[in-house]
Chain A
């Protein structure tokens, strides 16, 4: 018997395509509706309605009304990154437990507003990440066991092998980064240091149990014309100096269909005094080589050239890569189930909104660093962090 009514905020061509179905597949949950803010663009409202139709639930075009429903205990929140601060606060103020798409928000200020609202409301929250996956748990266990000795470094990658590569214009000088980007989401592409880099940043910080005190970053537009058209990066690399002086590195990017035998490089290398080890989404796997036709570049969907969404792949009939076969469950299902487990036990999830604030702070400092060409200090201590505008904001309620 389901005992959590789940409201989905956001629809097709968001990660709600996966999260929503993961919630629907858990016998403890019942998806009751899809909703979003009133006044959103018609194309977004239409895509939201489409997911509601596919899942056989109503679409409620007024988020306040949807949040007032007494049969909603959980919100799965996939509003556009630029709206997440406002929508996340609304959901928390309504007293709902919240499962957040990554990243938590598009600015440190918005992220802190969400975490403050969640704490004031006394609800549980979790941001989707890779920490629930078997390979991440294996890394955590190996570190805790001491088999690698004292740990001196963590190096995580999230390089998504989708999109038609080789289309970025050749440059004679580096693309200039903006120190304080405000828009991250476009129909054709996203800023990848935030969108993909958040996986790697959250991974190294979770494994280290530390906070970053300084960030040095590089961004580039190496692969895709779609990113060039919006002057956004398709790759970012961050070196984090942690608050105990140790060093971690993280990459996030989109590298093209032809750059990997499966979905991309998703892993972490851990350096210890007694050894190093790589923990990867691709291990273990089957490798199958046969006389099947090789993978070929799929057609490009005009509304999703980076192949971000399963719905557009379904529309095109995109054939998957078949040589490397994963033996793991979808990370979304594993992560979502862990969130519901926490609700069942009334335990706060590890990757909660407050924890996820720091990931946004780190990546925003990364943009500032990439623009300036020098390390940027975070000066984060005891809940006080320099915000995106360079001011210092005290953590409310502490």
Chain B
């Protein structure tokens, strides 16, 4: 059975393939998972694979920041200039999954992160 992660990856890929947002250029993605073996690192690697599928294969440069047990940021670049900033966090509390894909003619949003109202 497909996981929620796989469903999201496939749905975004289909939207891109259908030309809904033009040429995809930027992936800004934040995922928080429950504490797991390996911390945030495995999630970050899965995110990088998905971003590669959307942006055109393997990145030509990946810089890694943070600590595996709490938060890993992967800042990746692709040969034609596309970029991804991927943050995987691991810890207690509600899981989160907040994705923005910026294309040349539009954007894709997926959000499941606790929102805090500001009291307006």
Q: Closest B-chain residue to A161, C-beta based? A: B107
Query: Is A349 an interface residue when CB atoms closer than 8 A count as contact?
Result: no
Which of A157, A220, A239 contacts B73, CB < 8 Å?
A239
Q: How close is B108's CB to chain A, nearest CB, in angstroms? A: 10
Determine if A271 and B80 form an interchain contact, defined as CB atoms under 8 angstroms apart.
no
Measured between beta carbons, the chain A residues less than 8 angstroms from B93 are 148-149, 272, 274-276
Which of A175, A255, A279 contacts B81, CB < 8 Å?
A175
Query: Is A307 an interface residue when CB atoms closer than 8 A count as contact?
Result: no
Per the bound structure, the CA–CA distance linking A157 and B111 in Å amounts to: 14
Measured between beta carbons, the chain A residues less than 8 angstroms from B65 are 216, 239, 241, 247
Which of A166, A237, A271 contacts B75, CB < 8 Å?
A237
Using CB atoms and an 8 Å cutoff, list the residues of chain B in contact with chain A: 22-23, 25-26, 28, 30, 32, 61, 63, 65-67, 70-71, 73, 75, 77, 79-83, 85, 87, 89, 91-94, 96, 98, 100, 102, 104-107, 111, 113-120
Per the bound structure, the CA–CA distance linking A170 and B35 in Å amounts to: 42
Determine if A165 and B66 form an interchain contact, defined as CB atoms under 8 angstroms apart.
no
Q: Closest A-chain residue to B61, C-beta based? A: A373
Per the bound structure, the CA–CA distance linking A159 and B104 in Å amounts to: 14
Measured between beta carbons, the chain A residues less than 8 angstroms from B26 are 220, 222, 235, 237, 251, 253
Q: Closest A-chain residue to B31, C-beta based? A: A276
Determine if B98 and A278 form an interchain contact, defined as CB atoms under 8 angstroms apart.
yes
Determine if B120 and A284 form an interchain contact, defined as CB atoms under 8 angstroms apart.
yes
Instruction: Tell me which of A130-138, A298-306, A379-387 binds B.
Output: A130-138
Looking at chain B's contact residues, the main secondary structure is strand
Q: Closest B-chain residue to A223, C-beta based? A: B104
Instruction: Report the 8 A-B pairs with minimum CB-CB distance, sorted nearest first.
Output: A275-B93, A174-B81, A134-B118, A222-B25, A166-B105, A259-B107, A138-B118, A218-B83
Determine if B116 and A279 form an interchain contact, defined as CB atoms under 8 angstroms apart.
yes
16 contacts between A and B (CB under 8 A): A135-B118, A142-B116, A149-B91, A165-B106, A166-B105, A170-B23, A171-B81, A235-B26, A247-B73, A251-B85, A256-B106, A274-B91, A275-B91, A276-B32, A277-B114, A278-B115
Measured between beta carbons, the chain A residues less than 8 angstroms from B114 are 275-278
Q: How close is A240's CB to chain B, nearest CB, in angstroms? A: 9
Per the bound structure, the CA–CA distance linking A276 and B100 in Å amounts to: 17
Which of B73, B102, B111, B113 contacts A249, CB < 8 Å?
B73
Q: Closest B-chain residue to A275, C-beta based? A: B93
Determine if B71 and A271 form an interchain contact, defined as CB atoms under 8 angstroms apart.
yes
Per the bound structure, the CA–CA distance linking A271 and B88 in Å amounts to: 10
Of the candidates B28, B67, B75, B81, the one having the most CB atoms from chain A within 10 angstroms of its own CB is B81
Interface bits A122-163 vs B (CB < 8 Å: 1, else 0): 000000000001110111001000001100110101010000
Number of A-B contacts (CB under 8 A): 172
Query: Is A70 an interface residue when CB atoms closer than 8 A count as contact?
Result: no
Looking at chain A's contact residues, the main secondary structure is mixed
Q: A155-B87, A239-B75 are known contacts. Are A283 and B119 too (CB-CB below 8 A)?
A: no
Which of A237, A249, A274, A327 contacts B92, CB < 8 Å?
A274
Which of A137, A142, A155, A235 contacts B30, CB < 8 Å?
A155
Determine if A283 and B81 form an interchain contact, defined as CB atoms under 8 angstroms apart.
no
Per the bound structure, the CA–CA distance linking A139 and B83 in Å amounts to: 27
Determine if B115 and A283 form an interchain contact, defined as CB atoms under 8 angstroms apart.
yes
Q: Closest B-chain residue to A237, C-beta based? A: B85
Determine if B116 and A138 form an interchain contact, defined as CB atoms under 8 angstroms apart.
yes
Query: Is A260 an interface residue when CB atoms closer than 8 A count as contact?
Result: yes
Which of A133, A135, A153, A166 contacts B104, CB < 8 Å?
A166
Q: A138-B117, A138-B118, A276-B114 are known contacts. Are A216 and B104 too (CB-CB below 8 A)?
A: no
Interface bits A245-287 vs B (CB < 8 Å: 1, else 0): 0010101010110111000010001011111111110011000
Measured between beta carbons, the chain B residues less than 8 angstroms from A314 are none
Determine if B113 and A152 form an interchain contact, defined as CB atoms under 8 angstroms apart.
no
Which of B79, B91, B105 contacts A256, CB < 8 Å?
B105
Query: Is A50 an interface residue when CB atoms closer than 8 A count as contact?
Result: no
Q: How close is A138's CB to chain B, nearest CB, in angstroms? A: 4
Per the bound structure, the CA–CA distance linking A253 and B102 in Å amounts to: 11
Query: Is A328 an interface residue when CB atoms closer than 8 A count as contact?
Result: yes
Which of B71, B92, B98, B100 contacts A247, CB < 8 Å?
B71
Query: Is A173 an interface residue when CB atoms closer than 8 A count as contact?
Result: yes
Which of B70, B71, B80, B102 contacts A259, CB < 8 Å?
B102
Determine if A258 and B120 form an interchain contact, defined as CB atoms under 8 angstroms apart.
no
Per the bound structure, the CA–CA distance linking A167 and B75 in Å amounts to: 26
Per the bound structure, the CA–CA distance linking A386 and B25 in Å amounts to: 32
Measured between beta carbons, the chain B residues less than 8 angstroms from A220 are 25-26, 81-83
Per the bound structure, the CA–CA distance linking A274 and B70 in Å amounts to: 11
Measured between beta carbons, the chain B residues less than 8 angstroms from A280 are 115
Per the bound structure, the CA–CA distance linking A57 and B92 in Å amounts to: 58
